[in-house]
Structure 1
Amino acid sequence: MNRNQFSFIKTGATMLLSIVMLSGLLACGNTNSAGSATNTAGDNSSSTKSNPVTVKTAYAPFIGGIGIYALDDKKFDLDHNVDLKIGAFGATSPLMSVMTGDVDIAFTTLQSYLVSVNALIEEGSDISTLPKIVYLHNASTGADGIVADASIKSVADLKGKSVTAQYGEVTHYMLAKALATAGMTVDDVNLVDMSPGKGGAAFVAGSVDAATTFEPYLSQGTTARDGNIIISTADMKNTILDVVVVSAKNAKEKPEWLLNTLKAVEDATKYVNSDLDDAAKLTADDLQVSAEEVKAMYPTVHLYTMADNIEGMNEGGWLYTTMKDVVDFYTSIGTFKKPFDVKQLVSTDFLSK
């Protein structure tokens, strides 16, 4: 079974933008849904509740999305007078989809988001006009890691070994963070530039000593080569995470549909965390696996609660340290020309609303 079947795809994380700046599109942002929401904001009449606002999103169906599918299946969105429409990511990055209005709200990895933001800044965009992070959705807590040959027992043992990671992408960042736990850098290993899927397959085939990859390749590696998962995101808290992004216009204007969508997301998170058995049965078809497989995979992710959001996003929260670390890493390898102020990319206006 490959990761497409398990749907552990972090779609946006593998895309570097080649963008011609579309500043005019940012102003129109969420033409249809935002306009509808503006007309109904604050209106609690029965006629308003009979006409929920359509909110478009795109999400790669992996285990971190269990809350999104539970939200839709349990109709938590309709409870808050919004109708969330879930589509699949296409060739366009999540950030650009928000800017063009193809989606109203995007769930994307933090690394992908920052890479896309940097591309826009380098094209001449004012950082204050770019889409904002308004919520933390989920974190990898074991779904990603490094699987190594049986002779390699620790991160320190990777010195001089061939290790796969995709240059400039999230696995490259994860490898650097992992090596840092042993006082090492990527220069201490023989980096083999491969995508997570190809790297995992190369390790299973015996072509490399270790691979920075994801499930199911982590588990397959331990079986096929009697290998070891020497470190994973279970050991690196808040390293790989998905954030919720909306246009700068909607972050500023705080339309009712956006507030209500985030309330529905929080309701879905509470539901999954309180009744995983039921949530697994409900969302198995959405994730294209069995309910038992959903339950087995669920410990490899953490759905952030509102309390987590407040801790991470408020002044002095861990999110800003993580964002700065990602920016500094990409700057150090030359992907970014220079660092930027990450605090301008976060809106805390939606916490505890």
Structure 2
Amino acid sequence: MNHAISRRTAIATLGALGVAGAGTVLAQGSATRPVTVRLGYQKSSTLIAVLKVQGTLEKQLAPLNAMLSWHEFTSGLPLLEALNLDNLDISADVADTVPVFAQAAGADLTFVAQEAPSPAAQAIVVREDSSIRSVADLKGKKIGFAKAAGVHYLLIAALDKAGLSFKDIEPAYLTPADGRAAFEKGAIDAWVVWDPFLSAAQRQPGQSKVRVLADGTGIASYQRYYLAGSKFAKARPDVLRVVYAQLEKTGQWVKQNPKEAAVLLAPVWGLDAATIEQVNSRRSYAVRPVVAEGLAEQQRIANAFFAEKLLPRKIDALNVALFKPGA
């Protein structure tokens, strides 16, 4: 089976999501020209969700004559594909694995910001009554997870640590919602998922109780990245500076006000506040600039995917554009 990204599939996914294809017309020195900034995000994009509810970004971008349009995606891969196809300008946080796939596909993207590691915010889980007691027991088992997500690398790294390879398991590429359904029905033996879906499965009543087999601690640090199309990054660094500053500020607010943040996010995520507090306790939300020295794990991720023939070619993780928020 060819596990590498299908560009045709990704584009078809975008069409199904109804993302507008009209590119934003920008030019150097156009900072005062009216512009609509197309921002893509996922349900797990916590800081962007807070900013969206509060209307903060719209207020901060108004003096730059910039308006926001919001586009929700079910996973990070089609989100970055939309960014590369100039159907979006900015991407909310995606797992550290997703830019690796995008880079291998030739995407021209700029790294805007990075969230510090949150290894416990993703895990391999089994049903409480499962006979699977260790990662080594996953040999020959059917495992559900989202392709190219952070959990994809977590699974590869955990298998490697246990002396197994990706070929030793049966992968089932599933969105978090489909993965939860398959897990509940017993259609998969294990499920690899990230927060808030992980905490929801652990805390919300379901047919099966969840037992964590392994999280990312000591295996996969799980750093999330914010990106922009390089064309947009070069044309509107003023917009990116505002976005960066608000992400940094919001990350600090969420950690300093866990109960208030949970109440705010509850109706957005459709989860109870206690579950959201658990989610937010596992995420660092420490927004920082992306520097070359901080991309070492990106190379390890890329090498692991290439070794398993999941990437079409080798990549240099350092061969990317980095936004400097203080410039």
TM-score normalised to structure 1 length: 0.70
Q: 2: distance between equivalents of 1:165 and 1:247? A: 31
Q: State the Cα distance separating 1:132 from its structure 2 match.
A: 1.6
Task: Say which of 36, 39, 43 aligns to 2:31.
Answer: 39
Matched-pair contact (CA < 8 Å) for 2:83–2:89: yes
Residue 170 of structure 2 corresponds to which residue in structure 1? 191
Matched-pair contact (CA < 8 Å) for 1:38–1:256: no
Change (3 A) 1:153 1:315: same
1:36-185 aligned within 5 A: 38-40=30-32, 54-62=36-44, 65-77=45-57, 78-79=59-60, 81=63, 83-89=67-73, 93-107=78-92, 108-119=94-105, 121=106, 130-137=108-115, 141-148=119-126, 150-158=130-138, 160-165=139-144, 169-170=148-149, 171-185=151-165
Q: 1: distance between equivalents of 2:239 and 2:171? A: 45
Change (3 A) 1:140 1:101: same
Change (3 A) 1:246 1:271: same
Q: 2: distance between equivalents of 1:164 and 1:202? A: 10
Matched-pair contact (CA < 8 Å) for 2:202–2:209: no
1:258 partner amino acid: L
Residue 7 of structure 2 corresponds to which residue in structure 1? 17
1:205 aligns with 2:189: no
Residue 314 of structure 1 corresponds to which residue in structure 2? 291
Q: 2: distance between equivalents of 1:276 and 1:39? A: 36
Q: 2: distance between equivalents of 1:338 and 1:15? A: 11
Deviations 1:229-261 (A, max 9, x none): 11023554433x432111223334553112112
1:232 aligns with 2:215: yes
Q: State the Cα distance separating 1:54 from its structure 2 match.
A: 4.3
- Any idea what SS the aligned residue of 1:68 has? helix
Q: 2: distance between equivalents of 1:168 and 1:71? A: 28
Deviations 1:144-195 (A, max 9, x none): 321235433332343x3414145963344321111223343234x4324342
Change (3 A) 1:183 1:304: farther
Q: 2: distance between equivalents of 1:258 and 1:161? A: 46
More helix by share: 1
Q: 2: distance between equivalents of 1:195 and 1:177? A: 19
1:314 partner amino acid: V
- Any idea what SS the aligned residue of 1:283 has? helix
Change (3 A) 1:161 1:340: closer
1:341 aligns with 2:323: no
Change (3 A) 1:182 1:222: farther
Deviations 1:87-139 (A, max 9, x none): 223899223432444322112333233223322x3xxxxx7xx1121211476
Structure ID, larger Rg: 1
Residue 266 of structure 1 corresponds to which residue in structure 2? 248
Change (3 A) 1:287 1:221: closer
Identical counterparts, % of pairs: 18
Tell me the C-alpha RMSD between the 2 structures: 3.7
Which ranges of structure 1 fall in alignment gaps of 5 or more residues? 1-13, 21-27, 42-50, 122-126
Change (3 A) 1:221 1:258: closer
Q: 1: distance between equivalents of 2:158 and 2:123? A: 9
Q: State the Cα distance separating 1:347 from its structure 2 match.
A: 0.5
Q: State the Cα distance separating 1:344 from its structure 2 match.
A: 1.9
Q: 2: distance between equivalents of 1:99 and 1:37? A: 23
1:343 partner amino acid: L
Matched-pair contact (CA < 8 Å) for 2:146–2:175: no
Q: State the Cα distance separating 1:227 from its structure 2 match.
A: 5.4
Q: 1: distance between equivalents of 2:266 and 2:29? A: 32
Residue 124 of structure 1 corresponds to which residue in structure 2? none
TM-score normalised to structure 2 length: 0.74
Residue 228 of structure 2 corresponds to which residue in structure 1? 246
2:32 partner amino acid: T
1:316 partner amino acid: E
Matched-pair contact (CA < 8 Å) for 2:145–2:191: no
Q: 1: distance between equivalents of 2:53 and 2:171? A: 42
Q: State the Cα distance separating 1:68 from its structure 2 match.
A: 1.1
Q: 2: distance between equivalents of 1:333 and 1:341? A: 17
Q: State the Cα distance separating 1:321 from its structure 2 match.
A: 1.9
Residue 7 of structure 1 corresponds to which residue in structure 2? none
Change (3 A) 1:278 1:166: closer
Alignment length, in residue pairs?
Answer: 300
